[in-house]
Amino acid sequence: MRTTVYPKVVVIGAGSLFFGRQAIWQMTHSQHLRSGCLALVDTDAERLDKMAKLAQLVAAATGAPLKIEAHNDWKDALPGADFVVLSFAVDTVRYRGLDCEISARYGVRMCSGDTIGPGGIMRALRDLPAILECAADVARLCPDAWLINYINPSAVNGMALARFAPQVKSFALCDSLHMPHVKIRYAILAGLIDHASQWHAALDADFDLRIAGVNHFTWLLRADYRGRDFLPEIADAIRRRATTGDQAGKGAKQLHNDAITCQLSDIFGYTSACTAHTKEYVRFYQGRGALPSEIPPLRLWETDARYARHAAMWREVEETISGALPIGDFLARHRPDHATDIIETMAGGLGRPYYINTANKGAVGNLGDDAFLELLCDVDEGGPRPRSVGDMPLGLRGMTQLTLDTHELTAEAVAKGDYNLLRRALMTDPLTTSIEDADAILRDLLAAQRDALPDWV
């Protein structure tokens, strides 16, 4: 690594509103990053210009001596990079809408449509070729850099980098288990504290929280505090919330999550740690049962609502640049991001643990060492080292392995350009129950998205 004090961080997909703004905030506030370089990359020149202007305003307002670069081509940004973060996607709102709408015609319902089911396979098909192309350029232009995938399906893309670009140092991220927020949330549910402001270092040290699984299909396996298991208290707190919570106005990813968490906990004995996505990984909420269920089938992901959310975010950026919104509002509204927190820890040698998607390496005893899991890791400039979790309970282990197989087949199919493997991935997927329906879904999705897919398709 060129330097661990003032690194160069390249953000490919700087127009990503779910990461670009937070990266700017963190790079200007962290003492370990603010004297480095932030290289913003986006193929959309207008969006890139807006984010670069925002970065310059924030740097000036905070007094950070941060060097800011803007590039349309990642090849121009990569030389000298220490960290390269991937956060791009091909017109993801529109295509996720198509994925969910077309799949629903054949009985597969997705509330998110970007990690499992036909939606996860199609998103990998759209974005993974560019990820692997970028990895090849990283190996050539900045071979000592860490390549951090922040694009869904995170596990598929992370697997593909580990297997098909082994010469590059890489891991994958998702912010659903961002520490310490997730630990504080469970401490409140366990009754150990009433509010996040009561969190302190001694409680952090004594609260043994263990979560493991595949990204978006993770499970709370242990919640010990000074020798006492608080999993029952956490489950009871979620159950109370499920009976009193108002579902009105909730989006597809939030709807009925507490009730579903309770139902899965009753079945498997452990609490889902990412129910907003996990409910999409299991077949129970597809509405295929002969008898009615107290929890209705998954509502489809809302394309229009996501477009509206993006538009509001861009208005904030534009009004901040124009001066209509004070820069102080931006500084107060935003906070660190999972990826930049990890970069700060690696660059500064801070020794903080984070949930990272990486090879199991024995952390979960009854899954393979190369199983690509989301695990609490110690991390430094040498990369992530998973902490031991123990065994995955039976039932959950089987579903975890099926998910891993689906993801690995998807990664291999895209990397090799093999339609038969792509079809096999969909047939292995836990949401598939009909060969004919799955073939129809794949046929219709490939036809509808031809302009966004690799040539071999």
**Over pLDDT 90: what percentage of the chain?**
91
pLDDT of res. 3: 43
Any alpha helices (H) in 165-283, and if so which ranges? 181-190, 201-206, 231-244, 257-268, 275-281
Q: What is the pLDDT of residues 218-238, one digit of tens each?
A: 999 999 999 999 999 999 999
pLDDT of res. 90: 83
Neighbour count for residue 112 (Cβ, 10 Å): 23
Rounded Cα–Cα distance for residues 146 and 226 (Å): 37
**Over pLDDT 70: what percentage of the chain?**
99
Q: What is the pLDDT of residues 344-359, one digit of tens each?
A: 999 999 999 999 999 9
pLDDT of res. 15: 85
Considering only residues 414 and 91, tell me which one the structure prediction assigns the higher pLDDT: 414
Lowest-pLDDT range of 235-249, 258-272, 442-456:
235-249
Rounded Cα–Cα distance for residues 380 and 345 (Å): 7
Give 5's pLDDT tier (boundaries 50, 70, 90): low
Q: What is the pLDDT of residues 31-47, one digit of tens each?
A: 999 999 999 999 999 99
DSSP letter (8 states) at residue 285: G
Rounded Cα–Cα distance for residues 311 and 382 (Å): 39
Q: What is the pLDDT of residues 88-143, one digit of tens each?
A: 988 899 999 999 999 999 999 999 999 999 999 999 999 999 999 999 999 999 99
Considering only residues 336 and 195, tell me which one the structure prediction assigns the higher pLDDT: 195
Reply yes or no on whether the pLDDT at 16 is more than 90.
no
Classify the C-alpha dihedral 367-369-370-375 as positive or negative. positive
pLDDT of res. 372: 98
pLDDT of res. 1: 42
Rounded Cα–Cα distance for residues 396 and 280 (Å): 15
Residue type, 289: G
Contact 172, 196 (CB under 8 A): no
pLDDT of res. 248: 78
Average pLDDT over residues 235-246: 90
Average pLDDT over residues 78-94: 94
Rounded Cα–Cα distance for residues 433 and 424 (Å): 13
The two three-digit tokens of residue 412, written as one number: 């291999």
Rounded Cα–Cα distance for residues 25 and 204 (Å): 26
Average pLDDT over residues 316-323: 94
pLDDT of res. 335: 84
pLDDT of res. 244: 82
Average pLDDT over residues 76-84: 98
14 by DSSP, 3-state: which? coil
Rounded Cα–Cα distance for residues 112 and 105 (Å): 16
DSSP letter (8 states) at residue 340: H
pLDDT of res. 326: 94
Torsions phi, psi for 204 (to 5 deg): -60, -45
pLDDT of res. 2: 40
Contact 8, 39 (CB under 8 A): yes
Rounded Cα–Cα distance for residues 106 and 434 (Å): 9
pLDDT of res. 448: 97
Average pLDDT over residues 408-420: 98
Average pLDDT over residues 242-264: 91
Looking at the DSSP assignment, which residues form a beta bridge with residue 37? Answer: 8, 67
Direct distance between the N- and C-terminal alpha carbons of the chain, in angstroms, rounded to an integer: 38
**pTM of the full structure:** 0.95
174 by DSSP, 3-state: which? coil
Rounded Cα–Cα distance for residues 333 and 231 (Å): 33
Burial zone of 222 (CB within 10 Å; 0-12 exposed, 13-18 middle, 19+ buried): middle
pLDDT of res. 377: 97
